[in-house]
Amino acid sequence: MRISPKLPNLFLGLLRAASWLLWRDPVSKTKTEPRPPRPPRRPTLALTNGPIPDEVFAVVRTSWFKQGRTVEVDEFSIMECDDARTIFHYTVGQALRQGADVSVMSVYPPEALGIPRNKE
């Protein structure tokens, strides 16, 4: 008894079509499901009083986030000058409005920097 050479090829083709129909749906479902949106995080401002050089008004560190994870940390010094307080307010305010966490080290108390104290 002799088997036709076309019969195994037909059988393999049917198996390929059946496997494609069975395994294509789970893959396509996982790709189309959107992630639930994360709630926006609130930026924080931390102020520390400590010794820094006399010519420095404040040392400011900003932590930038994307999807809840830290992606960049910047640190810079604001030097003592006539516009130091204005520079401080602008940079800290912009960073907080854009969603960054801000840490400040200065010899000045919060009231001198224009930051109200929490009344707890």
Q: How would DSSP label each residue in the chain? A: ----THHHHHHHHHHHHHHHHHHHHHHHHHHHPPPPPPPPPPP-EEEEE----TTEEEEEEEEEEETTEEEEEEEEEEESSTTHHHHHHHHHHHHHHTT-EEEEEESS-HHHHT-PPP--
Average pLDDT over residues 50-54: 92
Q: Is the pLDDT of residue 78 over 80?
A: yes
Q: Is the pLDDT of residue 28 over 70?
A: no
For position 22, what pLDDT does the model report?
Answer: 74
**Amino acid symbol at 120:** E
At 79-115, the pLDDT tens digits run: 999 999 999 999 999 999 999 999 999 999 988 888 8
Q: Is the pLDDT of residue 23 over 80?
A: no
Among the residue ranges 19-23, 59-63, 89-93, 109-113, the one predicted with the least confidence is 19-23
Q: Is the pLDDT of residue 29 over 60?
A: no
Q: Is the pLDDT of residue 120 over 60?
A: no
Local confidence band at 38 (pLDDT 50, 70, 90 cut-offs): confident
